[in-house]
Amino acid sequence: MGGDHGPATILPGLVRVAERRPDARFILFGDEASVRPVVEGLPRLKAVSEVVHCEVAVRMDDKPSQALRRGRWKSSMWKAIEAVKQGEADVCISAGNTGALMAMSKFCLRTMAAIERPAIAAIWPTMRGESIVLDVGATIGADAHQLIDFSILGSAMARAVFDLEQPSVGLLNVGVEEIKGQEDVKEAGRLLREIDLKSMNYYGFVEGDDIGKGTVDVVVTEGFSGNIALKTAEGTARQIAEYLRASMSRTWRARLGYLFARGAFSALRDRMDVRKINGGVFLGLNGIVVKSHGGADDEGFAAAVELGYDMVRNRLIDKIRVDLDLFHSQKPAERPIAGAES
């Protein structure tokens, strides 16, 4: 029921998933009067789904606290998350209110025992392929231990999504030198260097331009800077696309040149298609929740669902738990704070 277009976009997106993932099954939580007629007109989806009527739908402008008070226990968002908790579903996908989805997910699923705060992870197109960036908005500010948690979470996701045995992980910083940056970032780097986690290859500090270069498989930062980086990249992609459109239609020579270079421009448009990397993953919870962009079309929503499908198939939650147990069994001693009394 969420997103800018509701069932009219989400349900056709599920048809695409059903065609590409024949073993997928769907539980559709929402207003039956709105959902059922659309499903009836989509026989491929109807054959692999069931509709669960919900009296309440969280509004896109609801504050998280309002959504919890008004929608807890009976909203479509809550029931979808609860289905994961009860084992009725493997993953929850929503295009709805991000704050409400995170609040309900934390309240219903709870964070894993060793995780202080969850993170939102995004897949990022790079010059070398794709990377994972986290956190992109769940946790504003993070201490050294939370940055380490994010490193473990991101590494596990890279193993599940990219099929890597030992993903490279970098901490986003204002420079690559060990003396630069905030104390929490430097302390997280020290701890990651001192422990030998077989599931990840700690690269060191990376800078903003390393994200697009694809220097590492996983870029770790706190939610404030991560969200700004994400929104900046999305805006830059739209800006470049608009520049190209304007340039190609400016003169008859430009239009003629476009005809000769259509293949190259088509490949560029395909690489910059944000629909294919839609889906922010809530990591650190006792269950998988994926947030689709509210403005995504049916292909974009399908990409978010398929991301969740792949993480379930590759046992993301199990990988995270193994990595957390390994880290805490080998956790190095904390460095005393300068000037503190013994």
Kindly state whether residues 216 and 315 are assigned to the same domain: yes
**Has residue 28 been placed in a domain?**
yes
**How much of the chain exceeds pLDDT 90, in percent?**
47
pLDDT of residue 20: 94
Give the pair of three-digit tokens for residue 239.
């800006």
**Has residue 149 been placed in a domain?**
yes
Whether 182 and 112 have beta carbons less than 8 Å apart is answered as: no
Kindly state whether residues 105 and 125 are assigned to the same domain: no
Burial of 53 (0-12, 13-18, 19+ CB in 10 A): middle
Final residue before a domain boundary, out of 59, 90, 109:
109
**CA geometry: angle 131, 136, 138, nearest 5 deg:** 140
Kindly state whether residues 170 and 60 are assigned to the same domain: no
Final residue before a domain boundary, out of 87, 109, 131:
109
User: Nearest CA to 14 among 30, 26, 32, 1?
Assistant: 26
290: domain CATH number is 3.40.718.10
User: Nearest CA to 171 among 162, 163, 180?
Assistant: 180
Q: d(Cα 147, Cα 192) in Å, to the nearest integer?
A: 10
Kindly state whether residues 150 and 40 are assigned to the same domain: no
Kindly state whether residues 13 and 46 are assigned to the same domain: yes
pLDDT of residue 275: 62
pLDDT of residue 337: 45
Kindly state whether residues 215 and 149 are assigned to the same domain: yes
pLDDT of residue 271: 62
**CA geometry: angle 17, 20, 22, nearest 5 deg:** 90
Task: Spell out the residues 6+ positions from residue 44 whose beta carbon is closer than 8 angstroms to its own.
Answer: 15, 18, 19
Kindly state whether residues 188 and 127 are assigned to the same domain: yes
Kindly state whether residues 35 and 60 are assigned to the same domain: yes
Tell me which residues of the chain have a pLDDT lower than 50.
337-342
**Has residue 105 been placed in a domain?**
yes
- In sign, the C-alpha dihedral spanning 47, 49, 50, 52 is negative
pLDDT of residue 30: 93
**Has residue 192 been placed in a domain?**
yes
Kindly state whether residues 180 and 281 are assigned to the same domain: yes
**Has residue 58 been placed in a domain?**
yes
Please tell me the number of Cα atoms within 13 Å of 296 on its side-chain side.
32
pLDDT of residue 340: 45
**Has residue 246 been placed in a domain?**
no
pTM recorded for the entire structure: 0.85
**Has residue 259 been placed in a domain?**
no
Final residue before a domain boundary, out of 109, 130, 164:
109
Q: How many beta carbons lie within 10 A of that of residue 296, not counting itself?
A: 23
pLDDT of residue 155: 93
Kindly state whether residues 208 and 278 are assigned to the same domain: yes
What are the beta bridge partners of residue 289? Answer: 92, 282
Helix 7-20 to helix 298-313 angle (10° resolution) is 50
Domain span holding position 139: 110-234+265-330
Kindly state whether residues 3 and 72 are assigned to the same domain: yes
**CA geometry: angle 308, 125, 185, nearest 5 deg:** 90
Distances (CA, A) of 62 to 100, 105, 133: 7, 16, 27
pLDDT of residue 18: 95
Kindly state whether residues 100 and 123 are assigned to the same domain: no
pLDDT of residue 341: 44
**CA geometry: angle 67, 68, 72, nearest 5 deg:** 105
Tell me how many domains the chain contains.
2
Please tell me the number of Cα atoms within 13 Å of 121 on its side-chain side.
32
**Has residue 239 been placed in a domain?**
no
pLDDT of residue 268: 59
Q: d(Cα 321, Cα 199) in Å, to the nearest integer?
A: 12
**Largest separation between any pair of C-alpha atoms in the chain:** 77
What CA dihedral angle connects 317, 149, 121 and 209, to 10 degrees? -140
